[in-house]
Structure 1
Amino acid sequence: MNSRTLRADILLFITAAIWGLAFVAQRVGMEHVGPLTFNGIRFALGALALTPLILTLEKRRTPDNHGTDKKKMALGGLLLGLALFAGASLQQIGLAGPQLAALGFEASTAGKAGFITGLYVVLVPIFGLALAQRPGWGTWIGATLAVVGMYLLSVTADLTISFGDLLILVGALFWAGHVLLIGKLSPGLDAVDAIKLSTVQFAACAVLSLIGAAVTEEFTMTGLMGAAPAIAYGGLMSVGVAYTLQVIAQRDAEPAHAAIILSLEAVFAAIGGCLMLGEILTVRAMIGCGLMLVGMLLSQLRP
């Protein structure tokens, strides 16, 4: 392994850690503000955080490269923003402990949410069947392991599943659709336009979330100040810093290395939930997490 590859792997490891610990921040933020308010502000911060990266890369552009058509960029970003809004909203509501408890429902935990969200990795190639893609044996074995793991992690002995886990599972379907949509929109884009497209989708998601929050949630400055550290982490670190690190790292990373390292996001979510929130996974749940992680890796390494 050369020094550039090693540096890329280290940056991807940091990226996975930042994303995994973001589930802790999302759970903490729900103690102070509503889920749509949290998402609206953090994605707005994320869009702003990527602006310096865009300006830096724009300066390096060759004079004859004018980039992608603005209308195409706006439409693509809006479509991605809609998918992102659906996935992120379901995920955030699923983590909203106080809000769901007030309605008589049980929320998910940071650790569970990390692994359940990670199922999109398995769902993407399966959804690809609708696009005439043919998943390999790794996808099917991975999907089987992930389903068994999901059962052990979230389904109780009396065959019930918490409402929060269910919301995040539905959200994983939208995350998978989001990935497929990126696959349709991003080919041919250079680094600048790819990040611009992401910034547009973050902005669209922020606007949709804030509109929903204005209609359905109560907003107070006290709550906002209480959630400020969690929102800042979710917006600046999870979106701005981690996304930038991923873009830099994947120029030199080997695809297999990247797949394995980024899958550790779910592991960091579980570790963060345990150390910072006192969440406890039973032996049954830990076995389920292990099966899901193996399933995710198989679906990526043997697609």
Structure 2
Amino acid sequence: MSALKQASWQADALLLLVTVVAASGWIFSKEALAGMPPLLFIGTRFLLAGLLLLPFAWPALQRLPPRRVRRGVLVGFLFSAAIAFWILGLSYSDHLGESAFINSLGILLVPVVARLLFGDRPPRSTWVALPVALFGFALLSLNAGFRIEASQLLMVCAALCFALLINVNTRVVRNVPALPLTTLQLISVGSILTCLSLVVEHQPLALSPSIVGWFMASVLLASSLRFFLQIKAQGMTTPSHAAVILMLEAVWTALFAAWWFGETMTLLQLLGCSLIFTALLINRWYWVRKVMLRWLPSAQR
């Protein structure tokens, strides 16, 4: 096996592991929220995760020009908005699987945001996928009785912010290496949301040993380890290829929520989530096909 082909398989394996760890983070976070206010939880989680990555990123950070460091920190403000919507949506959500699929709409919205704000021309597949995704979201709304629940609306806001964040990252801080950029943004998000929590949240802490355990799992596994592995894997493949595999996070989350919380889906929820996932596949079909051909060499014959 050539070194290039081996690196490709290693990247795929790491990215699959990242999706499993990220999906586990939904479970860790939901459990930890039983004893911590949402913004305080996510703020301290990201702050500690960023500090854990700091020793690995410090040599590269020292070589960065100050203007690039400032840009990385400023983009962290947008990341703060995205993750704040996500954690608030998670705190209101009674169905993690559904929330994960709604949040995954951010991948589909990346080219739409690029078109609206930067004039980029999305591929034709985006315009085919968009109505499929919207119909899927409509089915999820119908499941709540012809209304959009607070958790659904917050997850849509998070998806929009994540789509904007990806666009800004590729333009504003494209020359900043991934590890120092991630570290800067984690520390920025952690600092901002922890301070915001101290101002607006008044929910008392209930730090039992189990809550502390879920919190530390969120910090060490779902944040530090997840981002470290994701950065390593993305450095071994293309962003579009990585995005195809990372779409599996929503699927793993639904499966883990069914196993851990005993969640089940109604027919409308199942159809809605399936349509959203189908839209993601349509939007990334060129790269989905390349991944399938890599995983199934016989399909090329």
Alignment RMSD: 2.3
**Which residue of 1 is the match for residue 65 of structure 2?**
69
Aligned-residue offset at 1:235: 2.1
**Which residue of 1 is the match for residue 129 of structure 2?**
142
Matched, 1:174 2:161: yes
Once the two structures are overlaid, the 10-residue window that deviates more, 116-125 or 141-150, is 141-150
Matched, 1:81 2:76: yes
Match of 1:39 among 20, 31, 42: 42
Aligned-residue offset at 1:108: 4.4
How many percent of aligned residue pairs carry the same amino acid? 26
Q: What's the TM-score once normalised by structure 2's chain length?
A: 0.86
Contact kept, 8 Å, 2:39 with 2:84, in 1: the verdict is yes
CA distance change for structure 1 residues 22 and 296 in 2, over 3 Å: closer, same or farther?
same
Alignment of 1:1-303 (within 5 A): 2-55=5-58, 58=59, 67-74=63-70, 76-97=71-92, 107-129=93-115, 130-156=117-143, 158-189=145-176, 191=177, 194-218=178-202, 222-223=206-207, 225-253=209-237, 257-302=241-286
User: How many corresponding residue pairs?
Assistant: 283
Aligned-residue offset at 1:258: 2.1
CA distance change for structure 1 residues 233 and 300 in 2, over 3 Å: closer, same or farther?
farther
Aligned-residue offset at 1:87: 1.2
Contact kept, 8 Å, 2:143 with 2:269, in 1: the verdict is no
Moved >6 Å (runs of 4+)? none
Report the secondary structure of 2:207's partner residue: helix
1:110 is aligned with what amino acid?
L
Aligned-residue offset at 1:238: 2.0
Give distance in 2, aligned partners of 1:261 and 1:210. 32
Give distance in 2, aligned partners of 1:132 and 1:215. 38
CA distance change for structure 1 residues 259 and 72 in 2, over 3 Å: closer, same or farther?
closer
Contact kept, 8 Å, 2:68 with 2:173, in 1: the verdict is no
Give distance in 2, aligned partners of 1:46 and 1:236. 7
- Unpaired runs of at least 5, structure 2: 288-301
**1:86-121 C-alpha deviation (Å, 9 max, x unpaired):** 111111111214xxxxxxxxx342212211111011
Once the two structures are overlaid, the 10-residue window that deviates more, 160-169 or 218-227, is 218-227
Q: What's the TM-score once normalised by structure 1's chain length?
A: 0.85
**Which residue of 2 is the match for residue 104 of structure 1?**
none
